[in-house]
Structure 1
Amino acid sequence: MKTGVSRLTLDLAGASDADAEELQSLGGQLRRALLELDVEDVQFARSAAAAPEGAKPGEAIAAGVLVVTAAPLLVRQVLQLVDTWLRHRPLRSVTVEIDGDTIELGHASAEDQRRLIDAFRGHRPGARPADTHRPDPGRCRSRHPHPARRGE
């Protein structure tokens, strides 16, 4: 994996009567929505299970599992998009895994989901809190002098 890139695995959990074909269709819808963000890539995950006997050789696609590759600054947007997208779909939840950490997005209130996403992002290395903003450049202090001022 490239440095400075996050890899997220999204596992869609359907309703009790959802089949693999429905999960694959919903995964395709989510994939198209995610590609509208400035993410690097979104692919269906490969299944670790053995192919059924008589099936053609090759890797099977895991139904309803996507792998998203994105810059770390886009992780919050990916989580928010998944949360919003999930509210209008017949799914129980979407489990998101990043570097061994997981979060399950479900049908909690929008405020509870926002807090959950903030807490999840806040404990990850390099994550910035949601309310962090850039300081006024006129008030910003740097340990390194401005290049134009070095000769002063």
Structure 2
Amino acid sequence: MTEGGTLHLVVSGEADVDAEELESLTGQLRRQLLELDVADVRRVRSDDLPPEGAKSGELLAVGALAVSLAPAVLRPVLRLVETWMQNRPVRTVRVELDGRSIEIGHATSEQQQRLLEAFLEGAGASGVSEPPSSGDLRLPAPGQDG
């Protein structure tokens, strides 16, 4: 990503999170993202946008944001999302950029770090031109080894 782009974030709440609570959580994330040096953060209609791999009944609601940003802001945005998820009833945040996606969930710091670095390398955010072999990266589910 050499010029500004749009990062799509899809927030998936735990099964006990209703649409109103998810709307509030997504609003909190939006406000925090706007404090970074991003061009814009807007809500995206997500009524028909279940997270990839979600099983029926697992997730009650999904919130989505589109973040317009410069490449230099990608790393801080991903770190903010990772930190924001802590102690919130959020199952995952799916991040999509330039046809690549990553699913940030509750995992160990080491697993999270490896996954984010691979995504950033593939996005050209750290000067590495070779993307990882997979365009779709995920953290293991809680309790699984990575």
Fold-level match, TM-score > 0.5?
A: yes
Structural mapping, 1:9-24, within 5 Å: 9-24=8-23
Unpaired runs of 5+ residues, structure 1, are 50-61, 131-152
Matched residue count = 115
Q: How does 1:93-132 map to 2 (within 5 A)?
A: 93-124=92-123, 126-128=124-126
Give the 3-state SS of the residue equivalent to 2:43 in structure 1: strand
Task: Please provide the CA RMSD for this pair.
Answer: 2.0
List gaps (5 residues or longer) in structure 2: 49-60, 129-146
Q: Please give the secondary structure, in 2, of the residue aligned with 1:18.
A: coil
User: 1:1-152 residue pairs with structure 2 within 5 A?
Assistant: 4-47=3-46, 64-124=63-123, 126-128=124-126
Distance in structure 2 (CA, Å) of the matches to 1:118 and 1:127: 9
SS in 2 for 1:121: helix
Distance between the aligned counterparts of 2:9 and 2:28, measured in 1? 13
In 1: Cα distance, 2:83 partner to 2:6 partner: 20
Q: What letter is aligned with 1:43?
A: R
Structure 1 residue 73 displacement after superposition: 1.1
Runs of 4+ in structure 1 displaced over 4 angstroms?
none
Larger radius of gyration: 1
2:12 and 2:62 in contact (8 A); partners too: no
The sequence identity of aligned pairs, in percent, is: 53
Normalised to the residue count of structure 1, the TM-score between the two structures is 0.69
